Structure 1
């Protein structure tokens, strides 16, 4: 008879605490500030910070200073690490319970997703292009900026072409306030500044925040900008892989309009 392990796997012990589990569930939906997590779990900030530290020590959660308010931080959950740890946890109970990487199901209707950042020159157009590519055009995708730049960043154009075979050389940034915002199912903000100014859109679409620094601010030399945009694109691609599992679960927005 197989001998039982002396103690539950570390992920079970870590995630099994009620406060930490609620923090994990909250962060699985997107990046959040600590005061938002305090409201979510209904516990004092010092206790929430203690449990966040334990999650960070386990490399499940990372923190990044807000580009809107440097005194604040956004916390992010590493979903890929959670998946790997869950697979190991299941396998420790029975080999049949090892979790394989599942394929994302296709939505049963055509969805609309909006990516927003400040300049609409790097982060949001990269996200727009990658989601459109990964869904084969089955999702209607747009991107916009609160203060759009004059052109799509050359590094974004190069990285998408060289690494993903996607040509965006002909696109131009567009303004968030000039976009027809009716009928979006999801709005993903990719920078902390635009999260603060992005209005509530008609139909109250699902709001998700990915806290990402501007990979190539003005004055960044081209080689450094290419490297930074390439790193950002990899992170965005990973997050889109997770988003693909969320899209089929969404309910239609009340003012749903079919894309033209």
Structure 2
């Protein structure tokens, strides 16, 4: 019996290289700039950039310009794409190896403590706080704060959470990150490139990560005009939250 020749799935071709796998593993924990990856991996910038380009072309990694320094770019893992391609690789080998792309929910009885930080605490970090609480419930102790908090929540942040997820944060008010100086968190996540540069330390917390997510209100347009940007931002944050849950489980 002669077996038909099958092409190696693209995920396997891309991820099998040791350096590319190392980069994927690094980006699974947060977003990084090339120069940071060079330092952490110990390889040349040209080599890192070459393999990142292959991962981008293959749909596993994406990049966006830093809002702190427009000359820099943050790279991040396209989690849904990785999940779909990994599931496809299993199915290509054997139908019984089709993987469930839905990450497991928190199983620990000890609540994980998480802090989300952006500049104004009126959109991105507030949305992340609401969505993590929505998905994890009492199994997580979550807060958000800003390095320069706005007077109130952005109307579109309230609107998108209510309309897309059934969550009401209309009574919530932005808080300054300094008011949480005495708190300790298992994980601190910055969602703003500018906030990342000035976010204070919180002692010996278990983990730190950065999600480079552009400010959906940055254009300054009318609320109705920029609402689609808030929808896209909330969807991206929701994806990251869903994949954050098993990581919180693993650290407890």
In the superposition, the TM-score normalised over structure 1's length comes to: 0.92
Find out whether 1:133 has 2:134 as its counterpart: yes
- Deviation of 1:193 after TM superposition, in Å, equals 0.5
Distance 2:160 2:107 in 1: 27
Q: CA RMSD in A?
A: 1.5
Which stretch shows the higher mean deviation, 75-84 or 139-148?
75-84
Q: What residue ranges of structure 1 are gaps of 5+ in the alignment?
A: 252-260
Aligned to 2:70: 70
Q: Do 1:182 and 1:203's aligned partners in 2 also have CA atoms closer than 8 Å?
A: no
Which stretch shows the higher mean deviation, 146-155 or 198-207?
198-207
TM-aligned CA distance change 1:41 to 1:28, over 3 Å:
same
Distance 2:125 2:106 in 1: 24
- Deviation of 1:204 after TM superposition, in Å, equals 2.6
Alignment of 1:226-245 (within 5 A): 226-245=227-246
- Deviation of 1:227 after TM superposition, in Å, equals 1.5
Q: Do 1:159 and 1:229's aligned partners in 2 also have CA atoms closer than 8 Å?
A: yes
| Residues matched between the structures, number | 251
Aligned to 1:199: 200
Distance 2:208 2:59 in 1: 25
Alignment of 1:1-260 (within 5 A): 3=3, 5-102=5-102, 103-217=104-218, 219-251=220-252
Deviations 1:69-128 (A, max 9, x none): 111100011121111111111122222112112432422311111000000000011111
Distance 2:237 2:182 in 1: 22
